[in-house]
Amino acid sequence: MPTPLILSAADWCFVKPADDAARYYRRLAESGYAAAEMVPPERRVLARAAGLRLLNFAGAGGLNRAENRATVIGQMRQQIAQMAAEGIEQLIVFSGNRAGQSPDIGIANCIAALKEVASDAERAGIVLTFEVFNTFDHPDYDADHGDYAFAVARAVSSPAVKVLYDLYHMQRMGEDVAAKVIANLEYVAHLHVAGSPTRGFPGTDQSPDYAAVVRSIHGAGYRGAWGMEFLPGAGNDAGEMLDRAARLFRGYLG
C-alpha cells in the first residue's frame, strides 16, 4: 500500500466572501484534505474546527534588495512570532522584483536576509518557504526559476529555510518540474498545483502531466503537501472541484 498523498488547498482560490466558510472547511476535510493554506485570521477558528491544519501564510517580500533588509527582517521576525503563536507551520517569503538589478545580487541579498532570521524560525518551529513565480503572471519577479530559489536555500543551510516550488509557475517557465524537484528534494518544503497555462483544474487538458509528476516526485520520497492552487472556473462549485482533484491525484498512486 503506497503512502497516501497529503493534500492542502489555498483559501484565496476557493473561498469567496459570501461563502459559508465553515461548510467549505468541513467539505475540505471530508474530501481528505489535511490542511488549509493562507487562511485569514477571521476564518482560522473555522478551519481548525473542521480538523484542518493551518499550513502557511504569506509573509514578507522584497528580500532581494539590500535597501529593504532592515525593514524586511523586522517584518519576518514579527511574522514568525505571529505564526508560531497561532500554530501556523510555514511562512511564505518572496524575492521581490528585479527592477534592473542582477539576479546574482538578488540571490546574495536573499541569502543575507534569510541567514539573519533562520535561527529565529528554527527556535519558533516555523519553516520559511521561499516561493518561485513565473514572469507572465508576475512581471519582473526575481525568483522566476527553481535554481534561484534552491541556490538561496542551499546557501542559508538551515532546516527552517526551504522552497515552495510552484509546479504551475515553473511549468510556465519551461522547467522540467519533476526533475527539478527530485534533484533538489531536500530543499523542498511544499508544492503548489494548478494546470498550465491557464491556472485551471490540473486535469489532462493542461500541463504538466500530473499523473507522471505525482508518481515520480512521490516515488522519490516527497512527503510534504500537494497544495491545490487552481481557479475552479466560473459557475463551478469549489468544493466539488477540490473533491475531484483529490480523487484524481490519489488515483495516480493506484
In whole angstroms, give the CA distance from residue 121 to residue 130: 13
* 244 found inside a domain: yes
Q: Would the pLDDT of 67 be above 70?
A: yes
Q: DSSP character for 97?
A: B
In whole angstroms, give the CA distance from residue 5 to residue 250: 6
Dihedral sign computed on CA atoms, order 239, 52, 230, 182: negative
Cell numbers at 211, concatenated:
499523473
Rounded average pLDDT over 164-189: 98
pLDDT computed for residue 1 by the predictor: 61
Please state the domain count of the chain. Answer: 1
pLDDT higher at 17 or 151: 151
pLDDT in tens, 219-237: 999 999 999 999 999 889 9
- Residue 225 makes CB contacts below 8 A (sequence gap 6+) with 6, 7, 8, 34, 35, 55, 190, 191
The pTM (predicted TM-score) of the whole model is 0.96
Q: What is the CATH number of the domain that holds 142?
A: 3.20.20.150
Q: What is the mean pLDDT of the chain?
A: 97
Range of the domain at 133: 6-251
pLDDT computed for residue 114 by the predictor: 98
- Residue 71 makes CB contacts below 8 A (sequence gap 6+) with 62
Identify residue 70 by its one-letter amino acid code.
Answer: A
* 1 found inside a domain: no
CB 248 within 8 A of CB 30: no
* 151 found inside a domain: yes
Q: DSSP character for 139?
A: T
Q: In terms of Cα–Cα distance, which of 196, 253, 251, 191 is closest to 227?
A: 191
pLDDT computed for residue 202 by the predictor: 97
State the pLDDT confidence band at 254, using cuts at 50, 70 and 90.
confident
Percentage of the residues of the chain whose pLDDT score is greater than 90: 95
pLDDT in tens, 73-100: 999 999 999 999 999 999 999 999 999 9
